[in-house]
Structure 1
Amino acid sequence: MVVWIIGLSGSGKSTLAQEVTRLTRASGRACVLLDGDAVRQVFGADLGHSLKDRHKNAKRFNGLCKLLDDQGVDVVCAILSLFEDTRQWNRDNLRAYREVFLDVPLNALAARDPKGLYREALAGRMADMPGVDIPFVRPARPDLTITNTGSLDALLARAPEIAAMILGHAPGFPDAGGGR
């Protein structure tokens, strides 16, 4: 299964993905974590942050997920995921695919701002920032939406539910995944 955790910078994608991966592995399942920043570094940080480069990076994630999925490896991705076509590609080409959207208002993200990105973008000193000068269109049909405006503990409390999706123990969870 591939779990695609979507959200703007600072929404908690990496934090949640790390905990979901930890819980999945603790249950004895092989699980790979693909994080947006880490994948960029693996490929030599050869892409910028323009829409074109962001789309190319998302396509890399598609390919990596397909490679691992075809080998029966569970994958948790923490990715901004601006593009519906890459999410649709996942639905069409992966054995099982789930989208988890971390919904956080821009004012909360700007207040958190762990990397200082919103401060720079809102001041006009940085371009190509999703949610500021690049529109972020909410995913049309995530399998799970988490409003992350609370504590870190509240966010991490959702990790067992997502790990259960991977482990196949989530009764009643909608089967909106890949169609293969």
Structure 2
Amino acid sequence: MITWLIGMSGAGKTTIGTRVASRLKEQRPQTVYLDGDILREVWGDAPGHSVPGRALNAHRISHLCAMLDRQGLDVVAAVLSIFPEWQAWNREHFSSYYEVFLDVPLDTLRERDTKGLYAAALRGETENVVGVDIPFPRPAHPDLVLDSSGAAGDADHLADLIVAQLHEFGRR
């Protein structure tokens, strides 16, 4: 099973994703956690952050997940995921795919701005920032939408909700 966490920078993908993977690993030791930022480091960030570079990165992540899926591994992938065509590809090519959208208003993300990404883009110091000069299309068919802002965004609570939903999804 591939659990795909989608959200813009600062939505909590890494924090929540690592907790989901940790909880799942207790029951299914073959669980692997993949983080889009870490994969960029592994690959040397060669494609960059332009739209074509992001498309190449999406291709790589989806195909890596498909390879791991074919080997019987479960994956929790925390990715920005701005390409609806890759989300559709995932649904068609993974043995089981569960998409979670961490929905946070852009204003909240700009306030959080844990990486300073939005502020730098708004000052014109960087470009190709999703939510500033690259649009973020809301996922068309997420299996679960969670508000990870404010009090509703407690990472442990949201991780527990996702794991509970995954168990229900697995029983279908």
Same fold by TM-score greater than 0.5: yes
Query: TM-score normalised to the size of structure 1?
Result: 0.89
Partner of 2:168: 170
Q: Write the distance in 2 (CA, Å) between the matches of 1:9 and 1:171.
A: 27
SS at match of 1:170: helix
Structure 1's unaligned 5+ residue stretches are: 176-180
SS at match of 2:21: helix
Partner of 2:137: 137
Q: 1:52-87: CA deviations, max 9, x gaps?
A: 000000000111100100011000000000000100
Q: 1:108-158: CA deviations, max 9, x gaps?
A: 001101110010011121110001110111001100001111248623202
**Match status 1:21 vs 2:40:** no
Conserved 8 A contact 1:3-1:97: yes
Conserved 8 A contact 1:2-1:94: yes
Aligned length: 172
Q: Write the distance in 2 (CA, Å) between the matches of 1:28 and 1:117.
A: 35
Partner of 1:178: none
Which is richer in helix?
Answer: 2
Conserved 8 A contact 2:3-2:75: yes
Please report how far the alpha carbon of residue 89 of structure 1 lies from its aligned counterpart in structure 2 after TM superposition: 0.5
Percent identical pairs in the alignment equals 45
Structure 2's unaligned 5+ residue stretches are: none
- Aligned partner letter, 1:79: V
Q: Which aligned runs of 4 or more in structure 1 are off by greater than 3 angstroms? A: none
Query: TM-score normalised to the size of structure 2?
Result: 0.93
Aligned CA RMSD, in angstroms, stands at 1.8
